Amino acid sequence: MTHSSRQSKAIVSNGKGQYEQVTLTVMPPQEGEVRVKILASGLCHTDWDSIQNWNKTFVVGHEGAGVIDAVGEGVQGLCVGDKVILNWSIPCGHCFACQQGNVHICENHSPVCGNGLCGHAHAGATTQNGQSVERSFHLGTLSEYTVVKAAAIVKFEHDVPFSSASIVGCGVMTGYGSVVNAAQLKAGSAVCVIGCGGVGLNVIQAARISGARKIIAIDINQERLAQAKQFGATHGLISIQDDVDFLQMRDLVRKMTDGRGADYAFECTAIPALGSAPLALIRNAGTAVQVSGIEQRIDFNCELFEWDKIYLNPLYGKCNPQVDFPALLDLYCSGQLKLDELVTKTYSLKNVAQGFDDMLNGRIAKGVVVFS
């Protein structure tokens, strides 16, 4: 079948810390590719960090859901009109990591630890004034249309709004997967969650679904702690401003956990100064998890590892998209996983600046751009 190109309004970063809405030309998919009409795209702190730090031009956005608009040759099991969520792990299925079951860290296609743009659809799939434009995390979801490899597609038939489905593709998966896939949290455990933004709320509800007996939410904002309890937190603690090493917080947590500390602690702020905080909160042989990915160099007091403590830094919640996304939507449909409640506010593409401002100033748990 012959497909025509599409004109697509999109948010494009200029590689100098700025972005603007432009009109792109999105070409038909080539072999092994799919073109998607994006209906909703979540806003993520990673989007903003990319705009500020990536020294190149690219289409912004990596959380998206929509419907298939065109299918390239050789693609099986996907049809025009299918409802889909995009994922940015895009496994190749053949490398060492994929063969070990770690498709989230594919050595060939991953935009984080892979091989350049190998996970991208063909270079000329998206153009502006005849020049090829890269797509963020191989997706570029803040665009009315995008072209991706078929491996980036997860089809779904669940009854879920596209705004809610879109956030499964990163924020929900990262938080939930860090609990279920990475930490493999055991029922009856005591859990601490540092930071109750969008990712932290998903850690909290994953801990609840996994059967944690005590979930202690920690944040600087009382309103966020109240929201955390709606998602499953049993207790809330306001962060102590000058408690840099979390030693005072450690003492409070120990009083709440039979004097020994939490079984698991999850750091969800990505603030470098809090990189060692989860270690301070867990018991001997407990598990600390850095959920949001601190990439700066930080100093650790090695005594915090005493004794037999485990520190995990999982990528993307160790996501296996074809398995995990449907499981998350099943949990949503059964009433166990809150998605609609996470979407605090929606925006049009022309109002994306307000969305970023609300996100950066902590006014929302999760913002989503909705396309008409």
Does residue 47 sit within a domain?
A: yes
* Range(s) of the domain holding residue 21: 6-155+339-370
Does residue 138 sit within a domain?
A: yes
CATH for 136: 3.90.180.10
Give Cβ neighbours of residue 270 (< 8 Å, ≥ 6 apart).
Answer: 45, 292, 293, 294
Reported as a single tens digit per residue, the pLDDT across 316-365 is 999 999 999 999 999 999 999 999 999 999 999 999 999 999 999 989 99
Per-residue pLDDT band at 59 (split at 50, 70, 90): very high
**Number of domains, the chain:** 2
Reported as a single tens digit per residue, the pLDDT across 284-321 is 999 999 998 877 788 878 888 889 999 999 999 999 99
Do residues 62 and 198 both lie within one domain?
A: no
Does residue 88 sit within a domain?
A: yes
Does residue 165 sit within a domain?
A: no
Q: One-letter amino acid identity for 201?
A: L
Q: How far is CA 214 from CA 75, 198, 239, 310, 312, in A?
A: 46, 20, 18, 20, 21
pLDDT of residue 372: 81
Do residues 13 and 151 both lie within one domain?
A: yes
40, 42, 46, 48 alpha-carbon torsion, rounded to 10°: 80
Q: Is the pLDDT of residue 1 over 70?
A: no
- Return d(Cα 199, Cα 109) in angstroms, integer: 24
pLDDT of residue 18: 97
Does residue 106 sit within a domain?
A: yes
Packing angle of the helix pair 352-360, 45-53 (nearest 10 deg): 100
Do residues 59 and 138 both lie within one domain?
A: yes
Do residues 297 and 248 both lie within one domain?
A: yes
Sign of the torsion angle spanned by Cα atoms 120, 121, 122, 126: negative
pLDDT of residue 117: 83
Q: Is the pLDDT of residue 115 over 80?
A: no
Does residue 334 sit within a domain?
A: no
Q: Count of alpha carbons within 13 Å of 10, Cβ hemisphere only? A: 33
pLDDT of residue 313: 94
pTM of the model: 0.95
Per-residue pLDDT band at 170 (split at 50, 70, 90): very high
- Return d(Cα 125, Cα 26) in angstroms, integer: 6
pLDDT of residue 6: 97
Q: Is the pLDDT of residue 368 over 90?
A: yes
Average pLDDT over residues 272-283: 93
Does residue 327 sit within a domain?
A: no
Per-residue pLDDT band at 2 (split at 50, 70, 90): low
More confidently predicted of 297 and 212: 212
Do residues 353 and 251 both lie within one domain?
A: no
Tell the residue number behind the tokens 């859990």, with chain if given: 191
Q: Is the pLDDT of residue 114 over 80?
A: no
Tell the residue number behind the tokens 């969800």, with chain if given: 268
Average pLDDT over residues 45-50: 94
pLDDT of residue 299: 80
- DSSP code of 143? B
Average pLDDT over residues 119-143: 95
- DSSP code of 186? P
More confidently predicted of 89 and 337: 337
Q: One-letter amino acid identity for 349?
A: L
Reported as a single tens digit per residue, the pLDDT across 224-259 is 999 999 999 999 999 988 887 899 999 999 999 999
pLDDT of residue 245: 82
- Return d(Cα 158, Cα 260) in angstroms, integer: 43
The H or E element containing residue 277 is: helix 277-281
- Return d(Cα 110, Cα 178) in angstroms, integer: 18
Do residues 25 and 140 both lie within one domain?
A: yes
- Return d(Cα 230, Cα 228) in angstroms, integer: 5
Characterize 47-65 residue by residue with b for buried, 16 or more Cβ atoms within 10 angstroms of its Cβ, and e for exposed.
bbebbeebeebbbbbbbbb
Does residue 243 sit within a domain?
A: yes
Sign of the torsion angle spanned by Cα atoms 324, 150, 69, 26: positive
Do residues 283 and 359 both lie within one domain?
A: no
279, 192 contact by CB (below 8 A): no
329, 158 contact by CB (below 8 A): yes
Do residues 106 and 18 both lie within one domain?
A: yes
Do residues 22 and 92 both lie within one domain?
A: yes
Q: Is 149 helix (H, G, I), strand (E, B) or coil?
A: strand
pLDDT of residue 3: 81
CATH for 210: 3.40.50.720
Do residues 149 and 286 both lie within one domain?
A: no
Do residues 12 and 138 both lie within one domain?
A: yes
Q: Is 162 helix (H, G, I), strand (E, B) or coil?
A: helix
Do residues 108 and 238 both lie within one domain?
A: no
